[in-house]
Amino acid sequence: MHTQVCIIGAGPSGLLLSQLLHLQGIDCIVLERRSPEYVLSRIRAGLLERVTVDLMHKAEAGDRMDREGLIHEGVGIAFGDQRIRIDFSHLAGGQLTVYGQTEVTKDLMDARQAMGGRLVYEAEDAAVHDVGTDKPRVTYRKDGRTHEIDCEFIAGCDGYHGVSRASVPASAIKTFEREYPFGWMGLMSETPPVDDELIYANHERGFALCSMRSLTRSRYYVQCPLTDKVEEWSDDRFWDEIRRRLPREFAEAMVTGPSIEKSIAALRSFVAEPMRFGRMFLVGDAAHIVPPTGAKGLNLAASDVHYLSEALIDHYKNKDSHGLDTYSERALARVWKSVRFSWWMTNLLHRFDDGDFNRRIQQADLEYLASSDAAKASMAENYIGLPV
């Protein structure tokens, strides 16, 4: 089997890249080790930057997003007896769209199917070969048989635990990582959001976040120890805890109900450099992870897709390899800015067991943010997404 670009991973980044290439007449195949149902069952983020929204339109997969997505022009931060509103439109001239990552994935799946895209689900034991040559290959097993794909480029869109980055010799890659000493206990419910905009809370009991997926579906989080288990968090315990961490007006307005999903997520910052190895390119979580505090994970993957799709299109349409040669440098420049912002947001809003000095620094940072338009503008600019 032959293709121009073999894409490993059928999450949003792999599907988005395949759709953009297909629309430009570039042949590609997507391999995914899981079933479509499993891919759609994964609960992920729901805040889309302008770059992601624009790419969904460019991929001809944005109609439902336009109809059902919620436009957000600000976000709130509560601490002590204060509440700060970061006005995106006024401070940074932009906005965000609330639309779940699961919905993004479904729309891209439907678009690929409608256009006859080549997707292989339940492709087991994928392996990359000869990426340092001009004839890379990908092998996988399906229905008990081994298959081989000859290709010209490989896009590793297969996440943090995928085969793409793991295939790179340790001597050829450098990783940077910070693990945070707490997790997020998340609950999804079929209840109306507590507010029209997201509310972040810094409280002596720990961080809390009130988010949403639609006007009738809410997503809430509380900081918890990494040793906690989901089964230890009954719905009643979760609702009681998050209300304790919110200002009274939100705690009293909160509509509670049975959970439809609960999970605990560990938080980490991770970057792998470079993002190109011969004819293989890393995309999204295969190359970088950010804590969800700044809502950057999906959007960073989309910006990687922006750089790589443009580079591949330029290579095939104009015989220009400059975009491919500079992909890693360009992508990492934006990645590190988003890693910094996510790290800053995480340090600003969570409780760390690291003494009174750092707590005083955190308090000063929050008070400075509350009092300075320049600080609010900097946060707004980063939150809505830096230019690509």
Q: Could you confirm whether 296 is annotated as catalytic?
A: yes
Which one from 200, 220, 221, 316 is the annotated catalytic residue? 200
Q: Could you confirm whether 2 is annotated as catalytic?
A: no
- Which residues on neighbouring strands pair with residue 189, listed in sequence order? 218, 259
DSSP string computed for 312-343: HHHHHHH---HHHHTHHHHHHHHHHHHHHHHH
Q: Could you confirm whether 200 is annotated as catalytic?
A: yes
Residue 53 structure tokens: 């929204």
Helices 297-318 and 12-23 cross at an angle (nearest 10°) of 30
Which one from 136, 193, 247, 292 is the annotated catalytic residue? 292
Our CA angle for 32, 288, 313, nearest 5°, is 65
CA distance 382 to 368: 17
Q: Could you confirm whether 72 is annotated as catalytic?
A: yes
- Among residues 184, 171, 195, the alpha carbon closest in space to that of 253 is found at 195
Is 356 exposed, middle or buried, given 0-12, 13-18 or 19+ CB atoms closer than 10 A? exposed
Q: Given CA atoms 67, 69, 75, 81 in this order, what sign does their dihedral have?
A: positive
Question: How many CB atoms sit inside 10 A of residue 60's CB?
Answer: 15
- Among residues 88, 85, 93, 348, the alpha carbon closest in space to that of 202 is found at 348
Which one from 12, 22, 72, 193 is the annotated catalytic residue? 72
The CA dihedral of 66, 67, 68, 72, to the nearest 10 degrees, is 50
Q: Could you confirm whether 383 is annotated as catalytic?
A: yes
CA distance 344 to 335: 14
Amino acid at 277: F
Is residue 250 a contact partner of residue 210, using CB atoms and an 8 Å limit? Answer: yes
Residue 34 structure tokens: 């899981």
Q: Which residue spans within the chain are E strands per DSSP?
A: 5-8, 28-32, 47-48, 70-72, 74-79, 82-87, 96-98, 118-121, 124-129, 137-142, 145-150, 153-156, 174-189, 199-202, 208-212, 218-224, 259-273, 276-277, 280-282, 288-289
Which one from 22, 106, 288, 296 is the annotated catalytic residue? 296
Could you tell me which residues come within 8 angstroms of residue 350 by beta carbon, excluding any fewer than 6 positions away?
Answer: 180, 182, 202, 206, 207, 223, 293
Supply the residues annotated as catalytic.
Answer: 72, 200, 292, 296, 383
